[in-house]
Amino acid sequence: MSDQAQQSRSLREIEMEVEAEGREWTRRRLEERLQQEADRDGKVFPPQRAKSEASSDGMDGAKHRRRGT
């Protein structure tokens, strides 16, 4: 990036860019750590839902809907 283009960026734009980079770094690091734990325990990451859990999803929405007042 040229000096002129860099100078025209606001501090807020730079802050937002750096924060996004930090979030992505943190997400990757968390994924690595969770995978290490899953490997250590011999489990799959990300965890797979059990078939019984997946089939009950349709029921959960009905239970949690608010009734009209």
Q: Where are the alpha helices (DSSP H) in the chain?
A: 3-8, 11-41, 51-55, 57-64
Task: pLDDT band for 61, please (50, 70, 90 cuts).
Answer: low
Question: What tokens does 58 get?
Answer: 């349709």
Query: Residue 58: its pLDDT value, please?
Result: 55
Record the pTM. Answer: 0.49
Instruction: Please say if the pLDDT value at position 63 is more than 90.
Output: no
Query: Residue 1: its pLDDT value, please?
Result: 55
pLDDT digits (tens, 9 = 90+) for 4-55: 655 689 999 999 999 999 999 999 999 999 889 888 888 666 667 777 765 5
Distances (CA, A) of 67 to 29, 59, 60: 42, 16, 15
Query: Residue 12: its pLDDT value, please?
Result: 96
Distances (CA, A) of 13 to 6, 16, 25, 37, 65: 11, 5, 18, 36, 40
